[in-house]
A and B are shown apart, each in its own frame.
Chain A
Amino acid sequence: MSSTAILGNAEEKIQEVTSVTIRFAGDSGDGMQLTGTQFTNTAALLGNDISTLPDFPAEIRAPQGSLPGVSGFQVNFSSLDIRTPGDEPDVLVAMNPAALKVNLPDLHEGGILIVNENEFIKSNLDKAGYVSNPLTDGSLKGYRLISIPITDLTYNALTEIEMTKRNKERCKNFFALGIVFALFDRPLEPTYRWIDQKFGAKPEIAEANRRTLKAGYDYADTTEIFTTHYRVRKASLPPGKYRKITGNEATALGFVAAAELTGRPLFYGSYPITPASDILHELSRLKNFGVKSFQAEDEIAAMGAAIGAAFAGHIGLTGTSGPGVCLKSEAIGLAVMTELPVVIVNVQRGGPSTGLPTKTEQADLLQALYGRNGECPVAVVAPASPSDCFHMAVEAVRLAVTFMTPVFYLSDGYIANGAEPWKIPQLSELPAMRQALRQDPTGFLPYERDEQTLSRPWAVPGTPGLEHRIGGLEKQHRTGNVSYDPANHDFMVRLRAEKIARIANHIPDLTVEGDPEGDLLILGWGGTYGAIATATEELRRQGYRVSNAHLRYLNPFPRNLGDALKRFKRVAVAELNLGQLNLLIRSAFLTDTVSINKVAGKPFKISELIARCKALL
């Protein structure tokens, strides 16, 4: 917690702080994601900048009280412009011994530790591997331990309500939320509104949750468990209208916007997979925009259907994670050969194989670029933050329809589930990309080329006079007929490569943040932007000549990339893999870049990036 001033009087100290990171942790059935989300929503509505990191197990309900069953939600809220959910929590809420065991190592010394002491019984301590009770054995004396019988107090708050004991117990996360709201002097109304909306049909549950929330708040406010309360003022973000948004939500909205901008309907074919399913859920709700969502029988079918829809004049989308991309690869090759506008969303997760379904990673970059048979180029873009997902989804569609090509959109679990404030764009700020279908049969050839973009015409079934056949066999230049001619194949392979290369003329240049030259440039891509930008900013503040640049277009690269790299003594490529972008950069520019990497299923911490950079300086 970084503080700026101390206000208040002797009885009640209110300390003003700039940034706070809270982690709510409990059993996966304890409602920690919900609790964290409610806290975040309130912070956002109060005008704080926010950034969140949900961290949950792949199992829906791992054994109760066990270490693998711990679910966490971290939120960083601030009066400053922040870009990450914070390295380490200032406040840890641990609903049981397992949650304490898993999360305590991250809590910084002197941090506030709120625990539900009712859960610290022998059986739970055993499950978490505690030999003695940490609440009483003195092992927590480095923290500001606040031990509260949350379960008992929840029951007490609900004595007048007719409800099973089990249902009453399920309200305890709202007691914890009430405590944290009191600690940070936050209003309860936004959560009340949410409760009423959510449980409108079940008034007794709504009432129980309201009472528990209020009880938690009052308990923390009236008892003197906290000697100090904290206040975080509004952030001074650029003026505008804001909402909180996760990466997956922003991705879905971006695609809907893109469809409106192109004037072509949206088709989303997908097979449920973590962490991409929310995009399917989101788009399935938007039928009033004419969105056609299709839950396919498998990943291949989802891709095939997207290709079919694109052939028939829709924007063909499919969304998945790495394992799904493996299955789609052959069909993506077909989309390259038939030059149809499809977007493949890969919300990357830890791999290989099933890997770490709920954890983040960036190890599918080379798969996106090269994971197909033959010379099979596609465009690749990657959003840099949850809110940037909106913009890059629009961009992915723009490139797909302008160049008649598959486009890979590489999100990741971290930004997909993480949330931040999003400045809602004006419709007039969005790019114009009205897309016309070919209608005129005069001189029509299915593989004739636009001189500038090298794209072929989008000629869809139902259009008289444009009947033609396409497929995966090599095409004769212009006619699109099957051709086994060696010279034609050589020509077409180069043509498809050139088409993708020319996209570089239609994307923005790379922006270097900080000085355009210096001792060290940190180059990143995708969801690592927040950590890299914050770390390099801090290094610059400390006087180092460090800049950062972030690639959102990975194939082709922005035209100025090579030039930007040359202006630094050293270039380090920071990514959550073993150096995939670094490999590409080294081969493209013959430059001796180094790699800063991590493959732990977790995002970069600002502190670790600072340390890694300093080691290079």
Chain B
Amino acid sequence: MTEPLKIAGASETPLNLQRTDFISDQEVRWCPGCGDYSILFQVQSVLPKLNIPRENLVFVSGIGCSSRFPYYMNTYGFHTIHGRAPTIATGIKVANPDLSVWIITGDGDGLSIGGNHFIHALRRNLDVNVLLFNNRIYGLTKGQYSPTSEFGKKTKSSPMGSIERPINPLCMAIASEATFVARSIDVDTKHLAATIERAARHKGVSFIEIYQNCNIFNDGAYKPISDKEVRAENMLYLEHGKPMVFGRDRNKGIRLNGIKPEVVTLGENGVTEDDLLIHDESAADPTLAYLLTQMDFPSFPVPMGVFRNVFKPTFEELNAQQIEMAMARGRGSLEKLLNSGDTWVIE
């Protein structure tokens, strides 16, 4: 599908930027082997394609391992406070809609302490890109369970197992009326880069949940689905307008049985591609997207790619329009404003 609208902050003339133009002079300090390196690399690789000059880019983060991200970008950046990146990004974007604003957050920052702002930034449909690094653990505070940790997860703060059910970030995003919702993973660099680029080109809020491995406190969290040998079997790559096919031999698919998805094998019991669910990321109704978020390993392959992609006016545009309309009726005069209402003169 076409993405017709201009990317905020992009230049009309080619800038010929390189990945290296986006590398700051600060030493990257994530643990060796951290999935964050891959995400940083992919963002820096995608940016030249967007033709946005460095001065028009702002990376805003909260607190956590992922939130060190802005320091490593040779752009404007704001490392804010825990959970509040969406609030600061909102102020930046409303003040200057011509900036390309990115929110970098994690499962704790975005879904626990910052859960409220997360919801509201998405529902307002600010034209910002939200990258949520989901490693299902608190890394910076050294290994407590997070809101996306599995039930029963044993961590330092849950030695007998977590008794909390995990939150599903994509469900939250869809429930919050986000207009672009996607999932990708640190180890599938090509898919990650492509997803980031699509998110950046989307006008309106774009949200990507990025499965990211914390090799210190939660190593191998995604191994069962992301290992090269099992990836094709355990992941479902979503493609708009295409039937949902997966498997090493591309012989498995997702069929709808009533309102429930089920895994079927092509050629078995007369099942053909025509029986399979066709992905429609731009459906006005979010039901299909929601249904896909419920598919999880091991009962289902884990869907990867764009779940939802619809267009709605952005918050900052509507805000600017109201100001324009008010201004069109006459730019305010301070003199008149101060002298408004009933006045009287004392001589």
Interface residues of A (CB under 8 A from B): 41, 44-47, 190, 234-244, 253, 256-257, 260, 265, 267, 269, 286-292, 294, 296-298, 300-314, 316, 330-331, 333-334, 338, 424-425, 427, 460-473, 481-482
- The answer to whether A304 touches B91 (Cβ under 8 A) is yes
Chain B residues with Cβ below 8 Å from A47 are 344, 346
Check A292/B343 contact, CB under 8 A, given A297-B117, A312-B99, A469-B78: no
Chain B residues closer than 8 Å to A298, beta-carbon distance: 116
Is A471's CB under 8 angstroms from B80's CB? yes
Whether B80 pairs with A304 at a CB distance below 8 angstroms is yes
Supplied contacts A241-B345, A291-B323, 16 more A-B pairs, CB within 8 Å = A44-B342, A235-B346, A243-B340, A243-B342, A287-B325, A296-B120, A297-B120, A304-B84, A308-B88, A334-B80, A424-B339, A427-B334, A461-B58, A468-B77, A469-B70, A472-B80
Interchain CB contact under 8 A, A267 and B95: yes
Residues of A within 8 A of B120 (CB): 296-297, 301
B346 — which chain A residues lie within 8 A by C-beta? 47, 234-240, 242
Contact indicator per residue, chain B 323-347, by CB within 8 Å of chain A (1) or not (0): 1011101111011011111111111
B308 at the binding interface (Cβ < 8 Å):
no
The reply to whether B339 and A312 contact each other, CB–CB distance below 8 Å, is no
- From A479, which residue of chain B is reached at the shortest CB distance? B25
Q: Which residues of B contact A257 (CB under 8 A)?
A: 334, 338
In the complex, A458→B55 CA distance in Å? Answer: 15
Chain A residues, CB < 8 A from B325: 287
Q: Which residue of A lies closest to B67 (CB)?
A: A471
Q: How far is the CB of B321 from chain A (nearest CB, A)?
A: 10
CB-CB contacts of B98-123 with A at 8 A, as 1s and 0s? 11000000000000000011011000
- The CA-CA distance from A564 to B180 in the complex, in Å, is 63
A397 to B54, CA, bound (A): 30
B95 close to A312 (CB less than 8 A): yes
Measured in the bound complex, the distance between the Cα atoms of B36 and A615 in whole Å is 70
Chain B residues positioned under 8 Å from A305 (CB to CB)? 87-88, 90-91, 94
Whether B98 contacts A462 by the Cβ 8 Å rule is yes
The answer to whether A466 and B55 touch across the interface, beta carbons within 8 angstroms, is yes
Q: List 15 A-B contacts (CB under 8 A).
A: A238-B346, A241-B344, A256-B332, A256-B334, A267-B95, A287-B322, A304-B80, A305-B94, A308-B93, A312-B91, A427-B335, A461-B99, A462-B99, A464-B54, A471-B71
Determine how close the nearest CB of chain A comes to the CB of B237; give it in whole angstroms: 35
Question: In the complex, are the beta carbons of B91 and A267 less than 8 A apart?
Answer: yes
- What chain A residues lie within 8 Å of B81 (beta carbons)? 330-331, 333-334, 472
Q: How does the 8 Å CB contact mask read for B45-62 relative to A, with 1 for contact and 0 for none?
A: 000000001111110100
Q: Residue B232 at the A interface, CB < 8 A?
A: no
A303→B338 CA distance, assembly (Å) = 27
In the bound complex, what is the Cα–Cα distance between A36 and B30 (angstroms)? 64
In the complex, what residue of chain B is closest to A193 when comparing beta carbons? B342
Shortest distance in angstroms between B65's beta carbon and chain A's nearest beta carbon? 14
For the complex formed, measure the closest distance between the CB of A474 and the CB atoms of chain B, giving whole angstroms. Answer: 12
Residue of A nearest to B315 (CB): A294
B117 partner, pick from A291, A301, A472, beta carbons under 8 A: A301
Judged by a CB distance under 8 angstroms, whether B251 is at the interface is no
A292 touching B95 in the complex, CB below 8 Å, given contacts A237-B346, A467-B55 = yes
- Among A243, A301, A462, the residue within 8 A (CB) of B56 is A462
**Which A residues lie within 8 Å of B60 (CB)?**
308
**A286 with B116: CB separation less than 8 A:** no
In the complex, A190 Cα to B281 Cα: how many Å?
A: 61
Q: Known contacts A239-B346, A241-B343, A244-B341; is A308 also within 8 Å of B334 by CB?
A: no
A263 to B147, CA, bound (A): 45
Size band of the B side of the interface?
35 or more
A530 CB to closest chain B CB (Å) equals: 19
Q: How far is the CA of A44 from the CA of B94 in the complex (A)?
A: 40
**A469 is contacted by which of B71, B89, B117, B322 (Cβ under 8 Å)?**
B71
Chain A interface, >50% SS class: mixed
Binding site for A on B (CB under 8 A): 24, 26, 53-58, 60, 63, 70-71, 73-82, 84, 86-96, 98-99, 116-117, 119-120, 319, 322-323, 325-327, 329-332, 334-335, 337-347
- The answer to whether B323 and A290 have CB atoms under 8 Å apart is yes
Contact A303 B87 (CB under 8 A): yes
Contact of A253 (CB < 8 Å), options: B54, B79, B89, B338? B338
In this complex, what residue of B is CB-closest to A291?
B323
CA distance A466 to B63 in the complex (A): 24
Q: Which of A291, A297, A313, A466 has the most CB of B within 10 A?
A: A297
The 5 closest A-B pairs by CB, nearest first: A308-B91, A304-B87, A471-B79, A469-B77, A312-B95
B83 to chain A: closest residue by CB: A300
Query: Which chain A residues border B335 with CB–CB below 8 Å?
Result: 427
> CB-CB < 8 A to B94: which residues of A?
267, 292, 294, 305, 308-309
Checking B53, B93, B116, B344 against A464 with a beta-carbon cut-off of 8 angstroms, the contacting residue is B53
A51 CB to closest chain B CB (Å) equals 16
Q: Are A287 and B90 in contact (CB under 8 A)?
A: no
Q: Given the complex of chains A and B, what is the CA–CA distance between A287 and B53 in angstroms?
A: 30
Assess whether A313 is in contact with B71, with CB atoms less than 8 Å apart.
no
Q: Which of A265, A316, A470 contacts B79 (CB 8 A)?
A: A470
Residues of chain A within 8 A (CB-CB) of B55 are: 461-467
Contacts of A294 in B (CB 8 A): 90-91, 94, 319
Complex-state Cα separation, A330 to B78, whole angstroms: 15
Asked if residues B95 and A244 are in contact (CB atoms below 8 Å), the reply is no
Interfacial chain B residues near A333, Cβ < 8 Å: 81
- B322's nearest neighbour on chain A, judged by CB, is A287
Residues of A within 8 A of B91 (CB): 267, 269, 294, 304-312, 314, 316
In the bound complex, what is the Cα–Cα distance between A292 and B326 (angstroms)?
Answer: 12
Q: Do the beta carbons of A482 and B345 come within 8 Å of each other?
A: no
Contacts of A303 in B (CB 8 A): 87
Q: Give Cα A142 to B84, complex, Å.
A: 61
Chain A residue with Cβ nearest B76: A461
Closest beta carbon of chain B to A305's beta carbon, Å: 4
Known A312-B95, A469-B76, A472-B79; contact A287-B326, beta-carbon cutoff 8 A: yes
Cβ A311 vs Cβ B99 within 8 A: no
- Would A253 and B95 count as touching, CB distance under 8 A? no
CA–CA, A468 and B87, complex, Å: 20
- Say yes or no: A309 contacts B338, CB within 8 Å: no
Which residue of chain A lies nearest to B70 when distances are taken between CB atoms in the complex? A469
